[in-house]
Amino acid sequence: MGVFHDGALPFFIAGFIAAFVFALVSIRFFLKLINRIKLVPFAIYRIVLAAVIALVIYI
């Protein structure tokens, strides 16, 4: 006996296709967003967050 029963294959295929399409749409959206909005604020946020975490851990 396999991992999936006979009735599950169409749902598995539909889920795979839906996930693939949504991933393509998401990637396209975020690539356009990155080209439009620069990542400097995000970089500053990450540096400050890393400094705060380092202070909390080591002090």
> What are the DSSP calls for 28-58, one per residue?
HHHHHHHHHS-SHHHHHHHHHHHHHHHHHHH
The proportion of the chain whose per-residue pLDDT surpasses 70, expressed as a percent, equals: 93
Q: What angle do CA 32, 35, 40 make, to 5 degrees?
A: 130
- 48: pLDDT confidence band, cut at 50, 70 and 90? very high
User: How far, in Å, CA of 24 to CA of 16, rounded?
Assistant: 12
Longest dimension (CA), the chain: 58
- 39: pLDDT confidence band, cut at 50, 70 and 90? confident
Domain that holds residue 13: 6-58
Total domains, the chain? 1
Examine residue 1 and state whether it is found in any structural domain, yes or no.
no
User: How far, in Å, CA of 11 to CA of 6, rounded?
Assistant: 10
Examine residue 36 and state whether it is found in any structural domain, yes or no.
yes
State the pTM of this model. 0.57
